[in-house]
């Protein structure tokens, strides 16, 4: 459970994916760093935008879900939903706020990895986050 304690404006270049002890070893296999800007999520959207031969199964985002134990139909559905979200955000449609946890001097996404990745691709560098604490 998380309790929202406020909101802050932050630069997306400084936002981290949440550390998850059970998944972190897999995440590191498909990501340059824990910064969301280096994530398989952002890479997936870049490939979608710039690769004529784009295929879900050729992305690190797809591989990440395979490493997490997900199967092909589930991953394909997840990829489709992600692109739907991306296109909604590109069209300027409202989406829920991203929730982050402050961990030492950095912010880790608790909820909203996909939304943050979309904002990075549409070149929105500053966003307002809800800041939470785990209860």
Render pLDDT for 26-81 as a digit per residue (tens, 0 to 9).
Answer: 999 999 999 999 999 999 999 999 999 999 999 999 999 999 999 999 999 999 99
Contact 42, 50 (CB under 8 A): no
The pLDDT score that the predictor gives to residue 125 is 82
Distance CA 77, CA 117 (A): 18
pLDDT value of residue 135 = 80
Sequence-distant (6+) residues with CB within 8 A of 17 are 27, 31, 34, 35, 36, 39, 108, 109, 113
Tokens representing residue 95 in the block: 């989406």
Taking the model in full, what pTM does it have? Answer: 0.93
Q: In the numeric block, which tokens belong to residue 14?
A: 């400084």
User: DSSP character for 38?
Assistant: G
Both structure tokens of 44: 């997936």
What's the pLDDT tens digit per position in 89-116? 999 999 999 999 988 889 999 999 999 9
């Amino acid at each position: 459970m998380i309790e929202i304690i406020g909101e802050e404006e932050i630069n997306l270049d400084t936002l981290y994916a949440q550390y998850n002890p059970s998944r972190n070893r897999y995440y590191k296999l498909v990501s340059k760093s824990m910064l969301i800007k280096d994530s398989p999520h952002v890479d997936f959207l870049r490939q979608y935008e710039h690769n004529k031969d784009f295929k879900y199964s050729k992305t690190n985002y797809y591989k990440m879900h395979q490493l997490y134990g997900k199967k092909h139909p589930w991953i394909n559905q997840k990829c489709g939903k992600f692109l739907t979200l991306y296109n909604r955000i590109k069209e300027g449609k409202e989406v829920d706020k991203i929730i982050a946890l402050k961990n030492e001097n950095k912010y880790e996404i608790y909820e909203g990895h996909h939304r943050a990745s979309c904002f990075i691709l549409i070149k929105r560098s500053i966003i307002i986050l809800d800041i939470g604490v785990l209860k």
